[in-house]
Amino acid sequence: MKGPYSCLYREIWDDKKFYTLSEQAKLVYLFLISCPMGNGLGCFKAGMAAMIEEMRYTDKGFKKGFNEGLEEGLFEYNAEARVLLIPTYFNRNLVTNPNGIRSLAKDFSKLPDCDLKDKCYQIVKAFVEGSKEGFKEAFNERFEEPLGRGRGQGSGLGQGQGEGKKEPPKPDPFHPKKMILDYSWVDPDIWSEWIDFKKNKKASISERALKANVKTLEKLGTDKANDIIAASLNAGWTDFYQLKKEPEQPRELKYLG
């Protein structure tokens, strides 16, 4: 049976961002790049319940893998608009002629206005600006520029901008390992090991969970934070506890890549 297909690069299995994911997150990501509701843009409308039903997966398993993928930046999701964007998808499934751009414009027009529709527009625009003139003509002819950042509707490449209302800037995505840079009393290397350890144990590394870990360290004493983390790693604990005795010699980091 023939039908739409997606490219899956063999190199994905050597991509640390992918192979360090949990089994649930890997399965959810592979589903999203090949799901029936997807399209050639890598930006499509899909409610959470619809994705779970289509994948025939458990609610708990899907949400765990989905949230992990969001945290790692593999895709973005606007829950209010129910729009999902896989930023790398379009450039790995490029169209080969101007008619392909015209065809994708139909999928683009079905997306509700939101920040991810705007990002999708910019991804396609960047591609056609570096392509032959026929691609630019097709883009200007069929793609209507979204209103998400104050641009006029349907302005196309190289045309004027409108004065619409601007959206407030979006907060930077949460990075489990980088968050600790805000806390100078924690060694970034041992924190990085802690994150890898928790992932290996399939313990939560969500922003809420890790901020709770930091709060526990603060209560136990910032001057002992690194020793407390090392003690939990040595004991195989996924939380922090008061030291019962003087710490041993610094342990060798095992989880750093």
**Cα–Cα distance, 217 to 243 (Å, whole number):** 11
Q: Which amino acid is at 74?
A: L
Question: What is the domain partition of the chain in residue ranges?
Answer: 10-90, 174-257
Burial status of residue 108 (CB atoms within 10 A of its CB: 0-12, 13-18, 19 or more): buried
Identify the band that residue 253 occupies on the pLDDT scale cut at 50, 70 and 90: low
CA distances, 61 to each of 12, 64, 174, 205, 207 (Å): 22, 5, 21, 15, 19
Question: What is the predicted pLDDT for the residue at 255?
Answer: 55
Q: What CATH code is assigned to 10-90?
A: 1.10.10.10
**Cα three-residue angle 69-201-213, rounded to 5 degrees:** 80
Question: What is the predicted pLDDT for the residue at 124?
Answer: 92
**Cα–Cα distance, 91 to 236 (Å, whole number):** 41
Question: What is the predicted pLDDT for the residue at 155?
Answer: 33
Q: Which residue has the higher pLDDT, 83 or 222?
A: 83
Range of lowest pLDDT (31-45, 149-163, 174-188): 149-163
* Total-model pTM: 0.55
Q: Mean pLDDT across the chain, nearest whole number? A: 82
Q: Write out pLDDT tens, residues 75-117.
A: 999 999 999 999 989 888 888 899 999 999 999 999 999 999 9
Identify the band that residue 132 occupies on the pLDDT scale cut at 50, 70 and 90: confident
Task: List beta partners, residue 225.
Answer: none
Q: Is 156 left (phi over 0), alpha (psi -120 to 50) or beta?
A: left
pLDDT at residue 131 above 60? yes
DSSP-assigned states of every residue in 228-252: HHHHHHHHT-SS----SS---SPPP
- Asked whether 69 and 109 are in contact (CB, 8 A), the reply is no
Relative orientation angle of helices 59-71 and 23-32, to the nearest 10 degrees: 80
Average of pLDDT values for 47-56?
Answer: 92
- Asked whether 25 and 68 are in contact (CB, 8 A), the reply is yes
Strand arrangement of the beta sheet that strand 76-78 belongs to: 43-45, 83-85, 76-78
* 148 φ/ψ angles, rounded to the nearest 5 degrees: -60, -25
pLDDT at residue 164 above 50? no
Q: Which amino acid is at 76?
A: E
170, 109, 67, 194: CA torsion to nearest 10: -50
Question: Both tokens of residue 168?
Answer: 């407030």
For residue 177, give every residue at least 6 positions away whose Cβ sits within 8 Å of its Cβ, in sequence order, or none: 188, 191, 192, 195
Question: Which helix (H) or strand (E) element contains residue 255?
Answer: none
DSSP-assigned states of every residue in 99-145: HHHHHHHHHHHTSPSSHHHHHHHHHHHHHHHTS-HHHHHHHHHHPPP
